Amino acid sequence: MSENKVKLSRRNFLLAVGAGGAASAAAMVAKTVPQEQPVAIEGDKKSTKGYHASAHIRNYYRTAKV
Amino acid sequence: MARMKFICDAERCIECNGCVTACKQENEVPWGVNRRRVVTINDGVAGEKSISVACMHCSDAPCMAVCPVDCFYRTEEGVVLHDKDMCIGCGYCFYACPFGAPQFPQAGAFGMRGKMDKCTFCAGGPEKDNSKEEFAKYGSNRLAQGKLPACAEMCSTKALLGGDGDVISDIFRDRALKRGKGAEVWGWGTAYGKPDNPQQQAPKGAKS
């Protein structure tokens, strides 16, 4: 009986190690995948809060049509 | 996404240099640097034509191609800007640009070059929009304020058009159709690419 318990605890230990390893591998993959993709980060000099057709700009276009 | 462009209507430009002054004032451009200037062809001769020239924010910008430190970048709106912190003032961009847009302040004796300065389409630089640092290096960021370049907005005859390329090209097309001439835009082919049909003839009697 006690021998069975020991065997079970060893299995549990191995299962825990395996699950932990898989979880850490998944975490590493999840961490690396977004870095590989181009992400629009704040402060990226190419992405600006620039042009938007404001009332001021629409008024300019209207006057340029004259 | 709108693509920012300049067009100068040679039939309307009266060589008042209002655009040059507006640019200087808006961006506090230092002495010796002219981001924009008015060029007159056949000055003093009947039929002379003037155009306002600055950086054309080329679709395939030669300045970007030759820069050894790769300090140029293009914004999502197609504005060609540069990072003065990276610029080494070598002057390659000046030689490459067909419009003479890159300018170099004479910072000392013997023609020593400083950081390159050029038209930013009033869109500032890589620093935070409308920050003090951005203004000190690049001038005003009017685009982020919902405005267009000061030169274009200040033009009294609306010869210099600036803004969304689709909109201003429609405005220019209407003008050319109404007057029946002046459809050519100087510098357009160089900056924005050659026309789809280069064999196309101008309408009879048209004059630009």
Instruction: State ipTM.
Output: 0.85
CA-nearest residue to B147 within chain A is A57
Q: Please give the structure tokens belonging to residue A53.
A: 């057709």
pLDDT of A11 over the 90 cut:
no
Kindly determine whether residue B79 and residue A47, on different chains, have CB atoms separated by under 8 Å. Answer: no
- CB-based contact B147 A54, cutoff 8 Å: yes
Domain positions in chain B are 4-192
Is residue A39 scored above 60 in pLDDT? Answer: no
* Cβ under 8 Å to A: B residues 104-133: 123, 125-126, 128-129
Q: Is residue A55 part of a domain?
A: no
What average pLDDT does this structure show over A10-15?
71
| A28 in any annotated domain | yes
Q: What is the full DSSP assignment across B145-168?
A: GT---HHHHH-TT--EEEEEHHHH
User: Considering chain B, what is the average pLDDT of its residues?
Assistant: 89
The three-state secondary structure class of B171 is helix
B49 and B41 in contact (C-beta within 8 Å)?
yes
Q: How confident is the model at residue A5 (pLDDT cuts 50, 70, 90)?
A: low
CA distance B203 to B48: 21
pTM given for the model: 0.76
Count of structural domains within chain A: 1
CA–CA separation, B23 vs B109, rounded Å? 27
Q: What is the pLDDT of residues A20-37, one digit of tens each?
A: 777 776 666 555 544 444
Cβ contact B163–A49 (<8 Å): no
Mean pLDDT along residues B183-191: 79
Compute the average pLDDT of residues B96-125: 86
**Closest CB from B79, B83, B163 relative to A60:** B163
The winner for highest mean pLDDT among A11-15, B23-27, B202-206 is: B23-27
Q: Which of B75, B129, B163 sits opposite A57 (nearest CB)?
A: B163
Residue A22 structural domain:
1-37
User: Would residue A66 count as lying in a domain?
Assistant: no
Task: Answer yes or no: is A63 within a domain.
Answer: no
Q: Which CATH architecture has domain B4-192?
A: 2-Layer Sandwich (3.30)
